[in-house]
Amino acid sequence: MAAHPQDPGAPDAPYLTFWQERHLCTLTTLRPDGTPHVVPVGVTYDPEARLARVITNKSSAKVGHVLAAGPEGARVAVCQVDGGRWATLEGMARVRTERERVAEAERRYAQRYGRTPAPNPDRVVIEIELRRGMGRG
């Protein structure tokens, strides 16, 4: 299979458009034993900041996996697929609790998914500092 690299800070137009469409995604984190944990999530992609964001509850397993990796962050991947189009973003994830970061993630989620998330005082954001992208939009 041919590789389809993308610069996560400067993706081609079809790839970026694909990430702006409404699609369910997956987030892959690693459990403490090294096995993958893959869950459905909503993801927003900000190439200018080289970030992907996932809003979630602070008690979720994915948050626990990221926190368990320590302050340097956890290696993760987010992915989406639609027929022959697919996209993966990889990077280092950290859990952010700062209200302004959570609010920005909620705003971006509402923009991509067409609905404002219900209020949740336990919401955090997993921010992924992007290091690699691949796929075909």
Name beta bridge partners: 26: 40, 79
pLDDT at 50: 98
Q: What pTM did the predictor assign?
A: 0.96
Nearest to 42 by CA among 90, 2, 80: 80
pLDDT at 3: 73
Mean pLDDT of the chain: 96
Contact 130, 92 (CB under 8 A): no
Token pair of 127, please? 């921010």
Q: Which residues of the chain have pLDDT under 70?
A: 1-2
Q: Name the amino acid, one letter, at 20.
A: Q
- Residue 100's CB is within 10 A of a number of other CB atoms, namely 8
